[in-house]
Chains A and B, each alone.
Chain A
């Protein structure tokens, strides 16, 4: 299982690769897109500058820096919907990506996926984004038919569900997201606007609440479950415990979230995932050993115990005390 790390500029490549990243992905917004839609609507769902490579030349430098270390770079074009008029322009841009050595594009819009499939760009793989909400094997089949060679699964699946999806996927490579950036909502079904320059998103806000229904107040278990996500910091999200099991299941790559974060954070994340993967390869641990080792590694990485709201994989979810 490969470790897929976010990257925002060429200067980050050596540190990330040294830490254990074997694939990188980046964001790039072509000028024609930002001219059309302004600063908030990004073609890769990251509206802040730090999460996007500054220019096409910068992207080329990044791809070159990765290529000399034999590490492929993929580019996110995972906004949806892509307006019809933008499709040919993004296909042309993607052809330029392929020319400079980008090895894959991450897509969440069906029209763009079909257009890129039909463009038959050489040496460029089409990745179906987690925004396609692949909860089942038949969604993988649907996406394969539409041109995807790699599918990023829904973030909510358990390791067992993922493992069961591997054999029917055949040659379609499956990828999971497993570190940082866990959303409380199903990303492909969430339509919240992420426009706050301070990066406080609607899913994390503290809401005033009013109960309408049987009884006078919100039942405490409902209130508690709703409040658990309020103020959650997705920086602390983790799926380390699952890493050995995902690798053993045959998952092609584990994606770390975090375009736009500081280099040190990205490097720490890659190191943590690499350490857990190495443990899995050496010890061939069962789920309980994975849980113990993963939670220990979490403490080392974040300097605090893990919490249920930060856990990617429900089967490893800790109690409130970590």
Chain B
């Protein structure tokens, strides 16, 4: 069965308007300034719980001070609440497992190991095996999955449904003991910088708080050798896939109406 989550922006606005049975995703995989405040997170959990909708909190990478400052956000999730937390930082995984052992943790796209550069589809220098290698990831490894499940309680993996995935996350022929996958569509994260052009190219860690100017627009980037365009928003560059493959066999699908 596939659970659908709709990404509702950093703060998860609009949970009340979701159709029945649809979950909500909020937060950010690439910037701490796009995470909800603790009180907003608590409210989102209440709203989702009232509607019986699952919730998915996407989290970013953290410096020490940022990780410490984010603890109220994680504390705002009641133990046992139907909230999945996607981690994109190994230290966050270590911390959350120690402090909140009942929290439902999954490995985010930045840690998945998949390669999403559009050039992979266009490169004449890659062999077919070489091309398919780029779709593999930590989720492909039984050894890593077992370790992460046993030591950290990891219950799922966030991936993109790429043309070079094998087997594609949406493929029903995947092995029987396949992990629970959250497939994100249609924007795949190609790269993340620590420096944000929306604050003049400074590190996001150099500002205590950010008014989120990146929510006002994005930049489309085109270069012939890349094979397809990129889109930059904040510190991340994305590539967009047309929705030609329904992620049927996956555990969850995270749908974005707009760039995250």
Contact = CB atoms under 8 A, between A and B. Distances in A.
B130 A209 contact: no
Contact of A133 (B64, B89, B95, B120): B89
B209 interface: no
B223 A226 contact: no
Contacts of A146: 147
Contacts of A114: 143-144, 147
Interface string B96-133: 00000000000000100111110110010111011001
B136 A87 contact: no
A138 interface: yes
B129 A38 contact: yes
Interface stretch (B3-11, B40-48, B176-184, B186-194): B186-194
A145 B88 CA distance: 18
B250 interface: no
B140 A81 contact: yes
A83 B144 contact: no
A314 to B, nearest CB: 6
B81 interface: no
Interface of B: 30, 61-64, 66-67, 88-95, 110, 113-117, 119-120, 123, 125-127, 129-130, 133-134, 136-138, 140-144, 147-148, 151, 189-198, 200-203, 206, 216-223, 225-226, 230, 232
B143 A224 contact: no
B201 A225 contact: yes
Nearest to B152: A142
B230 A139 contact: no
A97 B116 CA distance: 32
Given A185-B191, A214-B217, A136 B67 contact: yes
Contact of A186 (B192, B201, B223, B225): B192
Given A81-B141, A83-B136, A189-B110, A135 B220 contact: no
Contacts of B94: 138-139, 141-142, 145
Contacts of A39: 125
Top 10 nearest A-B pairs by Cβ distance?
A: A213-B217, A138-B91, A225-B201, A139-B91, A38-B127, A225-B197, A207-B221, A156-B194, A81-B113, A191-B115
Contacts of B30: 189
Contacts of A133: 61, 89-90, 110
Given A110-B141, A145-B151, A193-B117, A138 B67 contact: yes
B192 A213 contact: no
A265 to B, nearest CB: 25
A202 B194 contact: no
A157 interface: yes
Centre residue among B64, B189, B230 by max chain A CB count within 10 A: B64
The number of chain A residues touching the other chain, given as a range, is 35 or more
A130 B189 CA distance: 19
Contacts of A207: 221-223, 230
27 contacts: A39-B125, A40-B125, A41-B133, A41-B134, A114-B147, A133-B61, A135-B63, A136-B63, A136-B66, A139-B90, A141-B91, A142-B90, A146-B147, A156-B203, A165-B64, A186-B193, A189-B191, A190-B192, A191-B189, A193-B115, A193-B123, A207-B223, A207-B230, A209-B220, A212-B218, A226-B197, A314-B206
A184 B114 CA distance: 20
A41 B200 contact: no
A38 B126 CA distance: 7
Interface string A111-137: 100110000000000000000111111
Interface string A192-214: 11011100001101111111111
A299 interface: no
Contacts of A135: 61-64, 89, 91
Contacts of B140: 81, 83-84
A109 B137 CA distance: 9
A140 B168 CA distance: 32
A106 to B, nearest CB: 17
Contact of A209 (B89, B93, B133, B221): B221
Nearest to A118: B143
Interface in A80-111: 80-84, 87, 109-111
A284 interface: no
A35 B127 CA distance: 10
